[in-house]
Amino acid sequence: MGILQACKRRSLLLFLVLPLMALLLAQMVVGCGSASQAQTSATSGTPTAPSQQTTQTPGTQATGTPTAVPTGKTGAQTTPTPQPTSSALALYGPTNFLLDTPFAFSTVNGVTTDDNGATTSLNPTTVKTQTIQELHHLLFVVDSSDNIKVYSQGASPISAQLAFNSDGSANISYIQTENSEAGTISILFGAVLSTKQIDVHYEQQYTPSMLINAQASDIEVSFTAPVKWVAPHDIPAAPSNGTYKMTGQGGIALSWSAGQNAVAYDIYRQISDQDQQFQLLTTVKGTSYNDNSSAAITNIHATKGIVYAIFAVGPTGVENPGGIIISV
């Protein structure tokens, strides 16, 4: 989660997302403070069903929360008890859906563990906030054969298990693990989907590498959220051709190529020496942005530099979890 997420930085092709979750696994290393432009690998294409493009991920982004292999206190996956539905779920044929807000939490647990094994409880409000930030970006895509893939910021798409219940609901579950310079992050996701809502049990654990000054973390939440059904044409194509250069004020000028059907772009920033996850900076309608903030000017020459992640937003507000990473 915010304090759980560790930055993924690799050689470039990751929301994302755990302001508690990993789109892009290629990285491009650009010299800090260079005035020349540096182009990053782009995650192109729009995840739509039934024929789904595989979203490649620039492997630097640590969007959302560093999630990791569920262990210890929670152990095996717990799937919520199916809830009665007012109408049968129609998950046949191409369809896409998101977890909408608000999230109604019934369980919120989170701890960090230091090098000596001492644990500290995480603030429940922080755990909730970062869980919402990350999981609100998940895009579920079901094809005509009822195969389901889950797209998240910062990771390659995951194939999920799908099973139908007698009451018309469906069980969805998957386990996701990512390894990077930042350490190991994993997710255990189990849910019961009905026509209008989804009941989710979610676990994540983060184990930092020796290169990262961070504590291990472990969270477990259960919640109910509305379901937002999304038509394929509502999902914009990801941007591409991300570049940067220095501004006259000593900041960073970002630019990129437009994604088809995108009406805006969400811009996230991670200052590696300070942030354990990407922070949403702003939303812009054009294909450029100048970051002349004091944080950018101060940290542009930092050892680990600054990383930006840019995601396309469609006409209905749906953000494509595929995007680009620009490493400075």
Domain boundaries, the chain: 95-232
Tokens 């998940």 label which residue?
Answer: 138
Per-residue pLDDT of the chain (328 residues; tens, 9 = 90+): 333 333 333 333 333 333 333 333 333 333 333 333 333 333 334 454 333 333 333 333 333 333 333 333 333 344 444 443 434 566 766 788 989 999 999 999 999 998 888 999 999 999 998 899 888 878 898 887 878 989 876 667 899 998 889 888 999 999 999 887 667 888 999 999 998 899 999 999 998 877 777 789 999 999 999 998 888 888 899 899 999 999 999 999 999 999 999 999 999 998 876 776 678 899 999 999 999 999 999 888 877 778 899 999 998 888 887 788 898 8
Q: What tens digit of pLDDT does each residue of 132-146 get?
A: 988 887 889 888 787
Residue-wise pLDDT tens digits, 168-217: 899 999 999 988 766 788 899 999 999 889 999 999 999 887 777 778 99
Residues contacting 184, CB < 8 A, separation 6+: 68, 69, 177, 178, 206, 207, 209
CB 176 within 8 A of CB 158: yes
User: Does 50 sit behind a cis peptide bond, omega within 30 degrees of 0 on the bond before it?
Assistant: yes
Half-sphere exposure of 26 (CA within 13 A, CB side): 14
Residue 35's CB is within 10 A of a number of other CB atoms, namely: 9
How far apart are alpha carbons 290 and 271 in whole angstroms? 16
Does the model's pTM come out above 0.75? no
Beta bridge partners of residue 221, listed in sequence order? 108, 202
Q: What is the dihedral of CA 35, 41, 46, 47, to 10 degrees?
A: -130
